[in-house]
Amino acid sequence: MENEAGALSRVAGLFSARGYNIESLTVAPTEDPSLSRMTLVTRGTDEVIEQITKQLNKLIDVVKLMDMTDGPHIEREMMLVKVQAEGDRRNELKRLADIFRGRIIDVTDQNYTIELTGAGDKLDAFLQALDRGVIVEVVRSGVSGISRGDRSLKL
Amino acid sequence: MELTGAEIFVRSLEAEGVEFIFGYPGGAVLHIYDALYAQDKVKHILVRHEQAATHAADGYARSTGRPGVVLVTSGPGATNAVTGIATAYMDSIPMVVFTGQVPTHLIGNDAFQEADNIGITRPCVKHNFLVKDVNDLALTIKKAFYVATTGRPGPVVVDIPKDITADKAEFSYPGKVEMRSYNPVQIGHTGQIKRAVKLMQTARRPILYTGGGVILGDASGPLTELAKIMNFPVTNTLMGLGAYPATDSQFVGMLGMHGTYEANMAMHHCDVLFAIGARFDDRVTGHIEKFCPNATIVHVDIDPASISKNVKVDVPIVGCVDNVLKAMLNEIKGNDVHSDAVALKEWWQQIDEWRSKDCLKYDRDSEAIKPQFVLETLYKLTGGDAFVTSDVGQHQMWAAQFYKFDKPRRWINSGGLGTMGFGLPAAMGVQFAHPDATVACVTGEGSIQMCIQELSTCRQYSLPVKIINLNNGYLGMVRQWQEFFYQKRYAMSYMESLPDFVKLAESYGHVGMKITRPADVEGAIVEMLKLKDRLVFMDFITDKTENVYPMIPAGGGQNEMILI
């Protein structure tokens, strides 16, 4: 999208006006400062997705659009999880973080904060693996996606 | 040369060839008004409510094909304009609306007469711009006109803070503008066009379903040629009336909720549907599941998002309607393509049988004035050649049914949004564009009161609009629904405390007439048309409980019409 004020609002407004749901959304400038890249996750039938794609393309701020799920692609999401980490639990949590290739980035007597990156289902699995009562806070970044191989979203 | 933002604004409008700007002044736009005062190329028309400014610009645009231009102040000026902007958005009308804004350092501060114009209009414009630097002003205006008038047209809002209009910059109006994110497709896909033409050859029960897109794309000529060569039946949507000559024998009438019996039946039973510049709106399709059950559908539209939005189509063709139709004609003439004459003979026989139902008949012997009779008489006495604007409701439907439009851009009404109050200000815009033409505003006593203050504007600019008020003392369309579907519980549909419209018109310096007997209708309209230089308010007291037929009820298919 054009890196202009209001571009994000236009996309969000389009979804809400037409009753489509945004599951997650992330946006940031690209290597070209006049352009920003938004990755948006939504769910729907083929007809709905086709309509969403067409409506997005209509927006003047949207320069180019690609449906990542059209081909093989990589999804990455980041998560920060604060967990209660007292006594015996500390070892257990450290082991779990290692298994998932996460990193502990903050430590107190009471808590660890773990940083984890991966596809959405890996992050879901990590949260599942944790004991419910142990989770203090979770913050997820939203999914970023890029296609595999030579296929690219660029001008 | 260094100019102020206000001067750049005016010079940009001149460069765009803008004749009229419809507006209402206010604090945030005072510098602009000062610059407008100092010149006379762009004529500013002062309305009495910003809603009327947008509808007037809209009527101007619909009747000429050129973009309508509006200037309103910040805060309430802009919010008053929203209804008109949404009206233009729903019907894809090219319009550029300039809204004043508080100075840039006050934006977001809850300043006096501040409103988030960009935020408020975002869902009902094709695009909008906030000018934050006077050096961007000319280019932004160029982009605004470009976006508004190309591809599928639509309203564009340009929000200009007051300090920008005082700041100075070098002025040079860009010759061309290119926007990397906006490249409307013009030419249809050749393969798809060939497929469509092949279907024309083999269709046994074809129909051309044509809409507002044909008029916006100035494609009446190629459409008419195509229909005549192929001998196909043609139907128009409410927005498409006039795209094909209504007096031609191949025209089967308007289709949809209040369309003719023959048009709706032909649609329902067709085997190939050619949708041209129309968008399968719910007023046309009736219940979607029941729509055109046996048809292969070809859809020509400039907007890819309209294709297969409501109804899955088989041969989509994205492109400018005019180009696509011409390409089809080339294909037809180049390959000597003919339609199936034998099948069509049978199809036309069936259609004539449906026509014999005379679905638009009404009681011609009534002692009360029938609104249909007024419209028929208007049609006859204007030679079918007037510009007719309309408000919204039963009167609108009767105008669409009984005034046979042979030319595009003559029928001016709010179809998509259905905005009451549209008729009179739109008529003003049309009259400015066509000063010597007869412009009739067909309205009801509910709708006309919504922008009645514009009688003053008409006086100021001596606009000889002819107002045909079909006064039945009810919000007719609402009353009809309440009669049919709410067991006659007439909640809030009775119009009381009406003014004496004749006195009201006269108080504004116009001519008023009240007609209560059917025998007086024709004479009154003759007299009205003689008064070429005056606005005439014709208050026809009509039958109170007349209903619009046919009607496709909610949930009904096109073949499930209620008939008289």
pLDDT, one tens digit per residue, over A16-35 is 998 999 999 999 999 999 99
- pLDDT, residue A154, reads 86
Distance between A37 CA and the closest CA of chain B, angstroms? 14
Average pLDDT taken over every residue of chain A: 93
Asked if B122's CB is within 8 angstroms of A13's CB, the reply is: yes
Catalytic residue among B90, B328, B477, B513: B477
Catalytic residue among B19, B113, B198, B331: B113
Give mean pLDDT, residues A95-115: 96
B528 is catalytic: no
- pLDDT, residue A5, reads 84
Most A-contacting residue of B101, B181, B309 (CB-CB within 10 A), to test interface: B181
Give mean pLDDT, residues B303-325: 95
Chain A residues with beta carbon closer than 8 angstroms to that of B308: 47, 50-51
pLDDT, one tens digit per residue, over B369-428 is 999 999 999 999 999 999 999 999 999 999 999 999 999 999 999 999 999 999 999 999
pLDDT, one tens digit per residue, over B330-376 is 999 999 999 999 999 999 999 999 999 999 999 999 999 999 999 99
Beta-carbon count within 10 A of B117 CB: 26
- Measure the CA–CA gap between A13 and B119, rounded to whole angstroms: 10
Q: Which two tokens stand for residue B15?
A: 């460069």
Catalytic residue among B16, B20, B22, B50: B50
Decide: B442 and B396 in contact? Cβ < 8 Å: yes
The complex's ipTM?
A: 0.90
pLDDT band at B514 (very low <50, low <70, confident <90, very high): very high
pLDDT band at B563 (very low <50, low <70, confident <90, very high): very high
Instruction: Write the DSSP assignment of B136-168 as a string of letters.
Output: GHHHHHHHHHHHHHSSS--EEEEEEEHHHHHSE
Which residues, 6+ apart, have CB-to-CB distance to B246 below 8 Å? B236, B253, B404, B405, B406
pLDDT, one tens digit per residue, over A111-121 is 999 999 999 99
Chain A residues with beta carbon closer than 8 angstroms to that of B181: 1-2, 59-64
pLDDT, one tens digit per residue, over A56-96 is 999 999 999 999 998 999 999 999 999 999 988 899 999 99
Most B-contacting residue of A32, A53, A54 (CB-CB within 10 A), to test interface: A54
- pLDDT, residue B203, reads 96
Chain A residues with beta carbon closer than 8 angstroms to that of B301: none
pLDDT band at B557 (very low <50, low <70, confident <90, very high): very high
Give mean pLDDT, residues A125-136: 92
Please give the share of chain B, as a percent, with pLDDT higher than 90: 98
Q: Which residue of B has its CA nearest to A5?
A: B130
B112 is catalytic: yes
B495 is catalytic: no
- pLDDT, residue B407, reads 97
Average pLDDT taken over every residue of chain B: 97
Q: Which residue of B has its CA nearest to A61?
A: B181
Q: Which two tokens stand for residue B437?
A: 């033409």
- pLDDT, residue B522, reads 97
Phi, psi of B288 (to 5 degrees): -55, -40
Chain A residues with beta carbon closer than 8 angstroms to that of B118: 6
Asked if A55's CB is within 8 angstroms of B305's CB, the reply is: yes
- Measure the CA–CA gap between B36 and B139, rounded to whole angstroms: 20
Give mean pLDDT, residues B91-99: 98
pLDDT band at A155 (very low <50, low <70, confident <90, very high): confident
B171 is catalytic: no
pLDDT, one tens digit per residue, over B185-199 is 889 999 999 999 999
Q: Is the peptide bond before B550 cis (omega within 30 degrees of 0)?
A: yes
Beta-carbon count within 10 A of A17 CB: 12
Give mean pLDDT, residues B236-250: 98
Q: Which residue of B has its CA nearest to A56?
A: B305
Check whether B38 has a pLDDT greater than 90. yes
Give mean pLDDT, residues B421-439: 98
* Coil/strand/helix, residue B103: coil
Check whether B36 has a pLDDT greater than 90. yes
Asked if A60's CB is within 8 angstroms of B305's CB, the reply is: no
Please give the share of chain B, as a percent, with pLDDT higher than 70: 100
Check whether B495 has a pLDDT greater than 90. no
- Measure the CA–CA gap between B150 and A60, rounded to whole angstroms: 12
- pLDDT, residue B417, reads 97
- pLDDT, residue B106, reads 97
B1 is catalytic: no
Q: Which two tokens stand for residue B252?
A: 């089967």
User: Nearest CB to A60: which of B119, B179, B309?
Assistant: B179
